[in-house]
């Protein structure tokens, strides 16, 4: 997997599931089968009108939220 930290990225030889188990769930949230983000970086959730949800991150990046992870993302913001 590729781990992005600020402007740098690192190649890590572990699965995303392994990383998710080691991260603090109070600080990190899995949004997709291939994405974990820092909760503080999420600025808002957006529905695209076609059935997909996206998380807007600080810095302008948007990440698609997988159906499996949508309930947790909505619970985080109180929806």
9, 11, 17, 18: CA torsion to nearest 10: -110
pLDDT in tens, 25-67: 999 999 999 999 999 999 999 999 999 999 999 989 999 999 9
Please report the pLDDT score of residue 79 as a whole number: 56
- Radius of gyration from C-alpha coordinates of the chain: 13
Please report the pLDDT score of residue 47 as a whole number: 95
Please report the pLDDT score of residue 77 as a whole number: 79
Task: Assess contact for 42 and 56: CB atoms under 8 A.
Answer: yes
- DSSP single-letter state for residue 66: P
48 backbone dihedrals φ, ψ, rounded to 5°: -85, 0
Considering the entire predicted model, what is its pTM? 0.85
Q: Cβ–Cβ contacts within 10 Å for residue 55, how many?
A: 24
């Amino acid at each position: 997997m590729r781990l992005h930290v600020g402007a740098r990225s690192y190649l890590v030889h572990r699965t995303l599931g392994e990383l998710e188990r080691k991260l603090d769930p109070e600080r990190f949230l899995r949004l997709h089968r291939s994405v974990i983000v820092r909760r503080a970086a999420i600025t808002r959730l957006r529905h695209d009108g076609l059935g997909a949800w996206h998380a807007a991150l600080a810095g302008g990046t948007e990440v698609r939220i997988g159906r499996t992870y949508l309930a947790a993302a909505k619970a985080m913001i109180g929806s």
